[in-house]
Structure 1
Amino acid sequence: MDFTEIYKHSFNLVSFSPGAHFLLAAVQDRLIVRRSDSFQITKTWLVDSSPSPTNATLSTAQRSLPSSNGWITHAAWSYDSEYIFAACARRGVVHVFQIHDQDWNARIDAGAEGLMKVEWAPDGRTLLCFSEWGLRVTVWSLVTGASTYIQFPIHPDKGFTFRSDGRYFILAERHKSKDTLGLYDTSDSFKLVRHFPLPTSSLSSFALSPTDNHLAVWEGNLEYKLHIITLAGKVLASFTPDPEPALGVRHVAWHPSGAFLAVSGWDDRIYILDSMSWSPVVTLEISSRVPAGVTLWREPSNWQESTDGRGFLSYDKIRTPYTISITKPDHTKPNPKSGATQLEWNKTGTVLLVRFENIPNAVHLFQFPSSEESFNPKLRSVLLHSQNVLHCRWNPVRPGSMIICCGNRGIYSWSDEWQNPSGEQEEVAECIGVPAKQFDTRDVHWAPDGKGLVLLDKEKFCCAFEVEEGMTI
């Protein structure tokens, strides 16, 4: 793996373009675009950090504002890589730039409702601006310059999605103290198509199935209730474990085929529901005992010192059965450290990745059979680390490839794509040193083509690329 030089960033705002040809980074009040093959700067914009008129009026009482208030807080590519927005949420301003026209730009000023979050619509020509306090979503068209307002979203950071074809915008709303769902036609200026009540009293969030046929909606942390509804508002099923846990649903993940739904709470169980009966077909449980037959990988001790942050080193393979330590949660305190903090399928749905909060240094991988095999999901592998796992990311293209970071000078990879001399596929788990004296990898993101990585420290970043045989970078 080949690493680039180290560059600066602010607020972790670093991302590859959807085509993986460019790399965007925000540094305080400046946007920088580099080519992903040479990392030469191709575009740069200095963002006007002056507040919107409303923001300036409201902040007159504050005699001195910190300079960081004018920094970029949100930045992202449009889905066709033609436009970039840069938002200064504290100033209530959104700037839009065109990648192929340095002189073209647009500016959106938020009103008295403030600005909390900005998102691109799938058409790449529409911006969604979420206000503070859940007052409204403002939909801005870059083509017409017109705006549309949708009132009372429940959550500005979740509780909304687009259908996979981008035709409909689905938003969880709260009207007259009741949870509702709005369906809006993106091809007709986000005109309301359908509005119906939800079977929840305090919606936590929802997830749209990959087939766009079903929505899984669930209650807040105090009730373990999940409902399956159609986009017409019909409730197909409801699920509550028996006996019901003390706290509610924490994570929900649809299988890529839409045939299964993984549900986890604040306990040590994961329920796999099938789309035929919407009832559990298997329950996966955490255990301190790793049974025989499960592959157990452990990070070698002091490997970073021995390699000086360079090269690869395999995990130690531990014989099973084996006992790992589990932290006992204190359920008398709010937000106990228990349950799954991450629940995510790989691209093909053959492996379910789970991270439990009471085993923060471990990654559990559960094997799921293909449609041709008998249905018998089971624990496949466990990866143990000397430090707590911060992030774990599946490769967006290759289903058998994963990357992990733990906030130190290395990254960790797992793959089941390695072929041994006899031609059989084997698991490989490796520690990869980052060749920098002061760089702690706090987050990591794949490039859309699955060939590169962005490694993020608090104020620095670098990229890493796999080097193929005969290839020169």
Structure 2
Amino acid sequence: MNFSEPFKLSGLLGRFSPDGKCLASCVQYRLVVRDVNTLQILQLYTCLDQIQYIEWSSDSLFILCAMYKRGVVQVWSLEQPDWHCKIDEGSAGLVASCWSPDGRHILNTTEFHSLGQGRADSRSSARDVLFLTSRDFSSSRVLELDGSSKVLPCSEPACVVQERGASGGVAGQLRITVWSLCTKSVSYIKYPKACQQGVAFTKDGRYMAVAERRDCKDFISIFVCSDWQLLRHFDTETQDLFGIEWAPNGCVLAVWDTCLEYKILLYSLDGRLLSTYRAYEWSLGIKSIAWSPSSQFLAIGSYDEKVRILNHVTWKKITEFEHPATIANTKTIVYKEVEKSPSVETERLSFPPPRALASSLFSTQSKYDVSQVPVSLQYIKPAADRANPKMGIGMLAFSPDNCFLATKNDNIPNAVWIWDIQKLKLFVVLEQLCAIQSFQWDPRQPRLAVCTGNSKVYFWSPAGCVSVQVPGEGDFQIVSLSWHASGDSMVLLSKENFCVCYLEREEVK
């Protein structure tokens, strides 16, 4: 296992490209694209303001950079560095931005205010769109906006098109604008709901579901992504819809209600209600969900510190996993992280030692011991008088082979629970010294990577556990991580830096 040197980073913005060839990272207002294998800089782009979000297009040819505070989205091309696109939402207020599955449309969610009809005052909610095109784009191209368009003659390869007095404004209302990079056309989706997970695409990229809110009721609209035509529109039996997520096979849409009410509804692609599941009433409900890669199981994590598994045949509960503070089952393996002193042959150690070696000498190293059950885990009682209490199942993820489910109970922040899905029982518990920040499965095999906000990365597989110290100067506190699609490397992110961990081929196999 090898580690790269650390590189500067801001906003935890480090992303592998979908084709696995590039790694994009942000430093304030600069976007840096590196070769994955050599980490040599391939492209360096300068944005108008500090970047708050980045996303690769599905074909890895474009990168979207969103600057929410400024209301601007900039798109950069890897093939044509002299081409880029800028979308300025102006005073509309940019809330979110993402790619469509085809990588040629951008969906901007904006919060706009009431607009006067036909007003051309620059102080109104105007939308300015600036396309800086390469020479193969004709300056006579137009951007169609609500059926009207303007062509501005320009000697330079740039066109500016402004939209004034758009219709249908209501103060504080959201709207999704679909921008086409190919035709420069614009489509609108009204009434999207302001919720954490209100837009979802099927895995094959054919359909998009949008949660909507109008007249104090929740709705779902399903669109065909090829032409953005409405396929289905139906209301949902929710009090205050919180999120939506497609099954990996794209046949079932899960819709769940606010945390104040435990309810999850399952709809078919044509809008039929397949099933409704409610585990209990009069208490905080659903906190997280996860589909298995095969779409056979739906795991539902809730505030009562349990995970319930639904099957895809009857959509009934087949089991529930509890997360008690005491592990008593003798068949459950508990790996406990313990500190250990670094072992160095002092007679071979030069003084003063090299800076990198000195850092590893005085940093706390750790290893795993197998604890004898029963084991009592550190349990934290949440503050009852605060919003979003640290309680319940906040993280859960299936392994790529559908064999394991990893979960985290926020009441027991230092533990990762790994469940055997074939036997429907608890298999392993990882008890860490620090609170779990993030975990993610290797996309190629059942191997889990975990970080806890220190300079170590932890790996679990059915063969066992290992704690790996990230070498280097200073304190590299890993708060997030992401696997490469091949499973042979991963990017480790801290608040100010990132590095790449390369696994040996033997380790990958």
The normalised TM-score by structure 1 is 0.86
> SS state of the match for residue 482, structure 2?
strand
> Given the superposition, is the C-alpha separation of residues 278 and 30 from structure 1 closer, same or farther in structure 2, using an over 3 Å criterion?
same
Query: Which segment drifts farther, 2-11 or 378-387?
Result: 2-11
Structure 1: distance between partners of 2:506 and 2:490: 19
> Given the superposition, is the C-alpha separation of residues 325 and 93 from structure 1 closer, same or farther in structure 2, using an over 3 Å criterion?
closer
Contact 1:248-1:265 at 8 Å conserved across structures = yes
Structure 1: distance between partners of 2:293 and 2:312: 12
> SS state of the match for residue 226, structure 2?
helix
Structure 1: distance between partners of 2:185 and 2:12: 31
C-alpha displacement at 1:299, in angstroms?
A: 0.8
C-alpha displacement at 1:113, in angstroms?
A: 1.7
C-alpha displacement at 1:276, in angstroms?
A: 2.3
Establish whether residue 320 from structure 1 lines up as the match of residue 373 from structure 2: yes
C-alpha displacement at 1:383, in angstroms?
A: 0.3
Contact 1:19-1:449 at 8 Å conserved across structures = no
Corresponding residue of 1:300: 338
> Given the superposition, is the C-alpha separation of residues 397 and 310 from structure 1 closer, same or farther in structure 2, using an over 3 Å criterion?
farther
- Rg larger in 1 or in 2? 2
Corresponding residue of 1:93: 72
Which string of whole-angstrom CA distances, capped at 9 and with x for unpartnered residues, describes residues 74-99 of structure 1? 21211111111222221111111110
Which string of whole-angstrom CA distances, capped at 9 and with x for unpartnered residues, describes residues 184-237 of structure 1? 11111x122221111112001122112222122111011111112222222222
Structure 2: distance between partners of 1:149 and 1:6: 42
- Aligned counterpart in structure 1 of residue 402 of structure 2, from 346, 349, 366: 349
Which string of whole-angstrom CA distances, capped at 9 and with x for unpartnered residues, describes residues 444-468 of structure 1? 1111221111111111111110123
Which string of whole-angstrom CA distances, capped at 9 and with x for unpartnered residues, describes residues 291-329 of structure 1? 101111011224679863899964111122323232234
Corresponding residue of 1:429: 465
Structure 2: distance between partners of 1:22 and 1:393: 20
C-alpha displacement at 1:332, in angstroms?
A: 5.4
Structure 1 residue ranges, 4+ long, deviating more than 4 angstroms after superposition:
302-307, 309-314, 330-333
> Given the superposition, is the C-alpha separation of residues 311 and 250 from structure 1 closer, same or farther in structure 2, using an over 3 Å criterion?
closer
Corresponding residue of 1:460: 497
Contact 2:342-2:365 at 8 Å conserved across structures = no
C-alpha displacement at 1:36, in angstroms?
A: 1.1
- Aligned counterpart in structure 1 of residue 88 of structure 2, from 101, 109, 114: 109
C-alpha displacement at 1:173, in angstroms?
A: 0.7
Contact 1:288-1:326 at 8 Å conserved across structures = yes
Contact 1:171-1:183 at 8 Å conserved across structures = yes
> Given the superposition, is the C-alpha separation of residues 41 and 269 from structure 1 closer, same or farther in structure 2, using an over 3 Å criterion?
same
Contact 2:339-2:365 at 8 Å conserved across structures = no
Contact 1:184-1:191 at 8 Å conserved across structures = yes
Corresponding residue of 1:63: none
C-alpha displacement at 1:365, in angstroms?
A: 0.4
> SS state of the match for residue 112, structure 1?
helix
Which string of whole-angstrom CA distances, capped at 9 and with x for unpartnered residues, describes residues 375-418 of structure 1? x40000000011111101111222x11111111111111112xx
Contact 1:299-1:385 at 8 Å conserved across structures = yes
> SS state of the match for residue 308, structure 1?
helix
Structure 1: distance between partners of 2:431 and 2:2: 25
Alignment of structure 1 residues 70-219 onto 2, 5 Å: 70-132=49-111, 135-155=174-194, 157-188=196-227, 190-219=228-257
Q: Please give the root-mean-square deviation of Cα atoms over the aligned residues, in Å.
A: 2.2
Structure 2: distance between partners of 1:395 and 1:245: 38
Contact 1:293-1:320 at 8 Å conserved across structures = no
Establish whether residue 266 from structure 1 lines up as the match of residue 303 from structure 2: yes
Contact 2:22-2:36 at 8 Å conserved across structures = yes
Structure 2: distance between partners of 1:130 and 1:157: 13
Contact 2:15-2:24 at 8 Å conserved across structures = yes
> SS state of the match for residue 92, structure 2?
coil
Contact 2:195-2:242 at 8 Å conserved across structures = no
Corresponding residue of 1:58: none
Structure 1: distance between partners of 2:303 and 2:507: 49
1:261 partner letter: L
Query: Which segment drifts farther, 16-25 or 108-117?
Result: 108-117
2:455 partner letter: R
C-alpha displacement at 1:37, in angstroms?
A: 1.2
Establish whether residue 224 from structure 1 lines up as the match of residue 262 from structure 2: yes
Contact 1:117-1:157 at 8 Å conserved across structures = no
Structure 1: distance between partners of 2:473 and 2:64: 34
Gaps of 5+ in 2: 112-171, 345-359
- Aligned counterpart in structure 2 of residue 378 of structure 1, from 422, 425, 446: 425
2:16 partner letter: F
Corresponding residue of 2:283: 246
Corresponding residue of 1:11: 11
The normalised TM-score by structure 2 is 0.81
Contact 2:254-2:266 at 8 Å conserved across structures = yes
Corresponding residue of 1:65: none
Tell me the matched-pair count.
431
> SS state of the match for residue 91, structure 2?
coil
Structure 2: distance between partners of 1:157 and 1:90: 19
> Given the superposition, is the C-alpha separation of residues 284 and 459 from structure 1 closer, same or farther in structure 2, using an over 3 Å criterion?
same
Corresponding residue of 2:322: 285
